[in-house]
Each structure stands twice: as structure tokens, then as C-alpha cells.
């Protein structure tokens, strides 16, 4: 009986293995088909965008004809022939000059930014700490210099994981010694980052308390999506998943008392979450994208926050060609160094460049992958000729030449890049310096090859 039982079990095992091989072959076949369908889907999306553009142009041309040949503001459609005519000069940061290992110990870093003079790197982590690191010391000879730079970083506890961070910008040669951190609990922490980095030494003493009546500082109902500073005034914009945006004027800082003067300039309330935002026109215009909408909203801060909308499908809101459907969300929005263009990173494996204040898309950038579950990030090169971006399926940073809309470099592990998903990218506004953080627990500083 035992022999017959063993034979039966062996036959069953052989049958199971055969069935398993058949299933594995089927899985491989279906995987190939899935990749084919994804490629076809991207091609169809691009074709749909072209049809929308053609439709918008035909409607505008028709409206001009109805007016007897007169030129309206909407009719002056620029075909973009003068935008990014020549390819980039090949000068952009691609050398991983500094690697700061375990910048947040065993926790993942979630965001990064550079001080306006590039001397300080700020990173926010899942460990609820904001870290200020003088990354330049890691350029010293020896492998231990990077570890020492991390060990000497200032650790500022913020009480909740930090989703985004940003230094106040320099205005008329004067800088506000403040770095802001947007947190998972809906708060925005302001911390002192003056030149005297050794005083106060303890990081928690650098958190600045508000002089507002409630003393709570900036607080939203849900987690903070993004923050940004005006380039011309000490005004901080913070946006939340609860659909609110708050513009806060940040005044004088008392580093000894650890206090800061705050004044709410404007509060905005939207039906959906504000996913991305920026200041344009030298800080006079506030621009944002709200999830579920098909346009960018521009608010004139010098004219009572008067709102205008520019379609992401062609045409201004209110015109006959305005299409309310959109197949993507803009999760990162950045003005170019000269302010004439906006770069947008979407959740549909597409980045694009728009003319600021218009509906005109001048370049579409493809070749990476970011869907609705991703965290797309972008950064301009300081010369405005290249765009950096991440991809959810590869542990690398892509570099696009904007003029040709082609990928010219993939900064991956073979180039000394990250070995984990790239969570955030930041580019200096004044020098050829790019910072990145990754789920490999490291922060990197990319410099231009000399």
C-alpha cells in the first residue's frame, strides 16, 4: 500500500509540475501582451492630443472668419516655431560628485532642496526629521568625508513625516534664514537656517514659533501636498489634500527666541486637492493645478487675486474650443529659469513644456513611466535647455534635451547613480548643481563634468 501511495504522489507531483510550466508560459505570453497594449495606449493618447489640438485650432480659425478677418487675442495662435530651436549645448550636471549615505539613517528620504547659495542641502524623511547638511565637506578626499558630512548634519524634529521642503529665496540680495517643511499631519514647520549653524546646536531649538494668536503657525486640515516660496517677496504658499491653499507672509525672525512673524495674505478653497503650484511673473502671479480640472489657474496677486484659466487641451476657459476632459493630473509644476515656460510632470508617463500664461504646449517629453500611483518629479537645468525627471519603474534620473524632446542621458547605478526609486529631484537656480534623494537611503549631489 505504501508503494502504491508513493507512486500516486509522484504522479500527482509530475502532473502539478507540468501544469505549472504551462501556466508560467501563459504568464510570459500575457506579460508580453500587456507591454504591447501599454505601448499602443501611449500612442493612442498622443494621437488624441493631436486631434484635440487640431480641433481647437479649427474652432479658433472659424471664430476669426466669423468676425470678418479681425484678429482677436485668442486668434493669435503661435505655432511655437521660435521655442527651443537649437539643441542644448551639452552642459548639464551628470557627475555624482557627492553621495551622502543613510542621510536619514534607516528611514527613507522623501524630499530635498538646496539653499539659494547652494551651501546647504535640506532633506525631509519618513523619520519626521528635517536635516541640514553642508554637503561641500563631502568633497574632501577620503571615503569617510561623506559619512562625516552626514554625521555633522543638523537634525530638526518636525513631529510628522516630511513630504516637501523649500528654502526662502533671496530677494534684492537679502535672504530670509528660513527653511519650510510640509508635513503629513497638515502642518508647515518653519526652521531657522542662519549662517551660524552651530548656534543653537540642538535641532529642536531651530523650529520657529509663530506670533499668531493661536501660536500654531501654518496648519491645514489634511496632509501638505506641496509648498513653494515667491521669488520676490517672503511669501510662502502651502497646499493641502483638503483643497486649501494658504499664502503666508513670513516676516522678521528672532533666532534667540526662536520666533517668526507670520501674516496670512490669502486663503483659497478648491473642490479638489491642489497637486502642484508655483509663482510666475516675478512672484506677481500664483499658478496652481487642482486635481480633476482640465486647466491651470492663474491668480493675479496685484489685482485682488483675479483668476484666469488656461486649458491644458487648447483654448482659454469660456471659449468654444475649451475641452473639459483631461486624461492626466499635473503632480509637479516648475517655471523655467527665465520664467517664460512651465514644465509639468503628469501621472500619464508624459512631461510637457508650456508657454507661461498661455494654453500652448511647445514640447511633449516621453520615454519614462509614471502612472496614478507614482510620484513624478522634475527639475530644470540652470541654462533652461534640459529637464530632469524620475520614472517609477527604473532607479534612475532621465535627462531630456527639450529642443529635440529626446532623452540624452539616463543617470543610473552604472553612472554612480541611485540603486532605489528616485523620490525627489531639485536643481539650483544659479549654478550647475542638482540634488536627488532615493529609497536607497542616499542623497546625491550632481555636478557638471569639468
Strands 209-210 and 259-269: parallel
Q: What is the pLDDT of residues 65-106, one digit of tens each?
A: 444 443 333 323 344 547 798 999 999 999 999 999 999 999
Task: With a cut of 60, say whether residue 339 has pLDDT above it.
Answer: yes
Greatest alpha-carbon span in the chain = 99
Task: With a cut of 70, say whether residue 291 has pLDDT above it.
Answer: yes
pLDDT the model gives residue 131: 97
Q: What is the pLDDT of residues 376-424, one digit of tens each?
A: 999 999 999 999 999 998 999 999 999 999 999 999 999 999 999 999 9
Of the chain, the percentage scoring pLDDT greater than 70 comes to 80
pLDDT tier, 308 (very low <50, low <70, confident <90, very high otherwise)? very high
pLDDT tier, 254 (very low <50, low <70, confident <90, very high otherwise)? confident
pLDDT tier, 212 (very low <50, low <70, confident <90, very high otherwise)? low
pLDDT the model gives residue 313: 84
Q: What is the pLDDT of residues 107-125, one digit of tens each?
A: 999 999 999 999 999 999 9
pTM of the full structure: 0.82
**Residue for cell digits 529665496?**
169
Highest mean pLDDT among 7-21, 69-83, 236-250: 236-250
pLDDT the model gives residue 77: 35
Instruction: Output 256 or 398, whichever has higher pLDDT.
Output: 398
Q: What is the mean pLDDT of the chain?
A: 85
Question: Checking phi first, is residue 118 left (phi over 0); if not, alpha (psi -120 to 50) or beta?
Answer: left
pLDDT tier, 15 (very low <50, low <70, confident <90, very high otherwise)? confident
CB 262, CB 218: distance < 8 Å: yes
pLDDT the model gives residue 249: 95
- Average pLDDT over every residue of 309-321: 66
pLDDT tier, 7 (very low <50, low <70, confident <90, very high otherwise)? low
Buried b (16+ CB within 10 A) or exposed e, 90-118: eebbbbbbbbbeebbeeebbbbbbbbbeb
Q: What is the pLDDT of residues 418-443, one digit of tens each?
A: 999 999 999 998 899 999 999 999 99
Instruction: Output 45 or 237, whichever has higher pLDDT.
Output: 237
Buried b (16+ CB within 10 A) or exposed e, 375-392: bbbbbbbbebbbbbbbbb
Q: How far apart are CA 123 and CA 232, in angstroms?
A: 24
Task: Please choose, from the candidates 415, 413, 385, the residue with its C-alpha nearest in 3D space to the C-alpha of residue 400.
Answer: 385
Q: What is the pLDDT of residues 157-209, one digit of tens each?
A: 999 999 999 999 876 546 789 999 999 999 999 999 986 655 555 788 899 99
Q: How far apart are CA 92 and CA 409, in angstroms?
A: 10
pLDDT the model gives residue 197: 53
Task: With a cut of 60, say whether residue 61 has pLDDT above it.
Answer: no
Task: With a cut of 90, say whether residue 219 has pLDDT above it.
Answer: yes
Q: What is the pLDDT of residues 27-58, one digit of tens each?
A: 777 766 765 666 566 556 655 555 555 544 44
Structure-block grid coordinates of residue 187: 502642518
Amino acid at each position: 500500500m505504501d508503494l502504491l501511495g508513493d507512486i500516486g504522489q509522484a504522479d500527482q507531483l509530475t502532473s502539478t509540475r507540468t501544469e505549472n510550466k504551462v501556466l508560467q508560459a501563459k504568464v510570459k505570453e500575457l506579460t508580453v501582451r500587456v507591454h504591447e497594449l501599454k505601448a499602443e495606449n501611449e500612442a493612442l493618447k498622443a494621437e488624441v492630443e493631436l486631434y484635440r489640438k487640431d480641433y481647437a485650432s479649427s474652432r479658433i480659425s472659424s471664430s476669426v472668419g466669423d468676425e470678418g478677418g479681425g484678429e482677436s487675442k485668442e486668434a493669435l495662435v503661435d505655432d511655437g516655431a521660435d521655442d527651443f530651436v537649437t539643441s542644448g549645448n551639452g552642459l548639464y550636471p551628470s557627475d555624482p560628485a557627492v553621495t551622502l549615505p543613510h542621510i536619514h539613517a534607516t528611514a527613507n528620504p522623501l524630499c530635498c532642496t538646496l539653499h539659494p547659495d547652494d551651501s546647504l542641502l535640506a532633506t525631509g524623511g519618513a523619520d519626521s526629521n528635517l536635516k541640514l547638511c553642508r554637503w561641500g565637506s563631502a568633497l574632501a578626499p577620503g571615503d569617510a568625508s561623506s559619512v562625516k558630512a552626514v554625521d555633522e548634519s543638523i537634525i530638526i524634529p518636525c513631529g510628522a513625516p516630511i513630504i516637501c521642503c523649500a528654502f526662502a529665496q533671496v530677494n534684492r540680495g537679502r535672504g530670509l534664514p528660513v527653511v519650510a517643511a510640509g508635513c503629513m499631519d497638515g502642518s508647515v514647520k518653519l526652521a531657522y537656517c542662519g549662517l551660524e549653524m552651530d548656534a543653537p546646536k540642538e535641532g529642536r531649538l531651530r523650529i520657529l514659533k509663530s506670533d499668531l494668536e493661536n501660536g500654531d503657525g501654518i496648519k491645514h486640515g489634511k496632509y501638505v501636498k506641496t509648498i513653494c516660496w515667491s521669488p520676490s517677496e517672503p511669501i510662502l504658499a502651502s497646499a493641502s489634500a483638503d483643497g486649501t491653499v494658504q499664502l503666508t507672509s513670513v516676516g522678521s525672525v528672532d533666532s534667540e527666541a526662536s520666533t517668526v512673524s507670520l501674516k496670512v495674505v490669502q486663503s483659497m478653497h478648491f473642490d479638489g486637492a491642489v497637486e502642484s503650484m508655483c509663482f510666475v511673473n516675478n512672484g506677481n502671479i500664483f499658478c496652481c493645478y487642482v486635481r480633476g480640472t482640465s486647466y491651470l489657474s492663474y491668480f493675479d496677486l496685484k489685482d485682488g487675486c483675479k483668476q484666469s484659466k488656461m486649458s491644458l487641451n487648447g483654448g482659454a476657459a469660456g471659449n468654444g474650443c475649451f475641452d473639459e476632459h483631461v486624461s492626466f493630473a499635473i503632480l509637479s509644476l516648475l517655471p523655467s529659469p527665465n520664467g517664460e515656460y512651465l514644465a509639468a510632470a503628469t501621472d500619464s508617463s508624459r512631461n510637457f513644456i508650456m508657454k507661461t500664461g498661455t494654453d500652448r504646449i511647445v514640447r511633449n517629453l516621453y520615454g519614462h513611466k509614471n502612472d496614478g500611483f507614482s510620484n513624478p518629479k522634475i527639475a530644470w537645468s540652470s541654462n533652461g535647455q534640459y529637464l530632469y525627471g524620475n520614472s517609477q519603474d527604473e532607479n534612475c534620473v532621465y535627462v531630456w534635451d527639450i529642443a529635440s524632446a529626446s532623452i540624452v542621458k539616463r543617470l543610473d547605478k552604472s553612472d554612480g547613480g541611485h540603486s532605489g526609486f528616485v523620490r525627489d529631484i531639485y536643481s539650483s537656480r544659479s549654478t550647475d548643481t542638482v540634488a536627488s534623494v532615493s529609497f536607497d537611503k542616499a542623497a546625491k549631489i550632481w555636478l557638471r563634468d569639468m
